[in-house]
Structure 1
Amino acid sequence: MKWDIKSFLGGIVVGSVLFSGIAIAAPAFPDAEEGMKTPFTYYFDGLPKSPNSDVQGIMYKNSVYVPIRFVAENLNKPVIYDARTKSIFIGKIPSAKMYSKMEAIELVKKKFAGKLSPTHVVEYAHDDEKGHYVIQVYQTVVNNFQSGDSYTSTYGWFVVNPNTGEIKSLL
């Protein structure tokens, strides 16, 4: 088969038509870079401050997301991130042992290790009114593999005290 200019141009036209639909079908999510095009000015005690251009905040769904290190340091508070527990400390570090949400999940997993199957999910749900972590243990059970119908089977809801690590059932 011999390639000529007609075939080449035809290929470009067909390719353009086929791939132009990708841009139309792309979801309309805002680009984080778009928020960085307009730098925000932050005021601390009436004084304007701007972070470095590589750590600008972004606007998403009418909320401004701000670099926490920039804010804390302008409030003269140190910031420490503990990757192991996925905890962010601003200002003073707690003097007593405090369990993080990730550590609370691990405590619940250990407590029920012999009773849970590999399909059980142990996850943080929210904090209760006392500041304790609420952890849900559940699994998704597929009852019809052909249709994909499934339901959630809850093993239990548990409260973990962040000061002591004590686990109590909510039921």
Structure 2
Amino acid sequence: MGRSPDCQAMRTAFLSIDMGFRRARIGGNSAMKKKLLLGLSAGLLLAFSSIAYASDKLEVYLFPVKVAFEGVEKKLDDDYLVLNYKGYAYLPVRFVAENLNAHVQYNDEKQVIEIYKMDKIIGAPLVNEDQAKLVGYESAGLKKINSVAYRLLSEEERKLMPEQAKHLTPVYYVIDGITQEDEQVTLFVSSNNKTHFFTVPIIIK
């Protein structure tokens, strides 16, 4: 079985989109063709990058474009790259999935990157809201619950997930409450397994 990719590798897995450069026909005389092709090449060759996988090596080019979803432009994080390789644009798969309201995860056992629509993830939780609240009272030391939400964790919140839960879909009950020591906290309870939970102090500014 292969080694599970680390967080950075998952963030930079790429989704390919055919840009049609190889099929494009450029009309006009030979001189015009050369100018157009030169302009295209210059645009794609502004930055160069090499990616090595074991003994294989690919030569790809940075492709500094903007990305919009449903007409709304979304800024890529600084550590995300858009690449051009043989006429295909490669976008970070997590960036694309999350902006399409989907979830992406790596299945280490099958060695497959899996993408799920959010309606399929959230549709059938194994833990219900009452069970999640009970975790708060009995296991997390809450004496009062102020609010309960049910949602996909943000990328920063996923870093706090219990190690044994990181292979599960990160859909959690998010419970704001007060502990026996009068500390305001947010409790996160997995919708897959109620024994997987963690708390974060609420910082009051």
Q: TM-score, normalised by structure 1?
A: 0.33
Higher RCO (CA 8 Å, separation ≥ 6 residues): 2
Q: Which has the larger radius of gyration?
A: 1
Q: TM-score, normalised by structure 2?
A: 0.28
